Amino acid sequence: MTAAVPASLDAIFAALADPTRRAILVLLLEDDMAVTDVAAPFAMSLAAISKHLAVLAAAGLISQEKRGRVKWCKLEPDAMRAATVWIQGFGQFDPVDFDAFERFLAIEIGPTG
């Protein structure tokens, strides 16, 4: 008998599959950011970054909020935690050290700004 896998995990793993979206998450580890600040380090249009942000938001990995005329993005760690709990359910993996994961992403992706 197989256990049901939450549908949200599909969206989370699909969002994490893209290197630009992973780089955006690394940026948001530091603090909330305006969409224009998120877009600054990338060589792509604001519209393209907005599409990446929409995928991350749909997966629950970030939230977006309008403050005045500026749209802000905030990391939502609970979605990542849900994916981690699912992976740990296999019993073959050690708990994820998010600090080590952040360092790995910084090395893998390189400087973002």
Residue 22's CATH number: 1.10.10.10
User: What is the chain's length?
Assistant: 113
pLDDT tens, residue by residue, 29-66: 989 999 999 999 999 999 999 999 999 999 999 999 99
pLDDT for the residue 111: 62
Show the domain range for 95: 7-107
Q: Total structural domains in the chain? A: 1
Residue 99 placed within a domain = yes
Rounded to whole angstroms, the Cα distance separating 14 from 31 reads 23
What is the pLDDT confidence band of residue 2, given thresholds at 50, 70 and 90? very low
With b for 16 or more beta-carbon neighbours within 10 A and e for fewer, the 47-74 pattern comes to eebeebbebbbebbbbeeeeeeeeebbe
pLDDT for the residue 87: 79
1 has a pLDDT exceeding 50:
no
Provide the whole-model pTM: 0.74
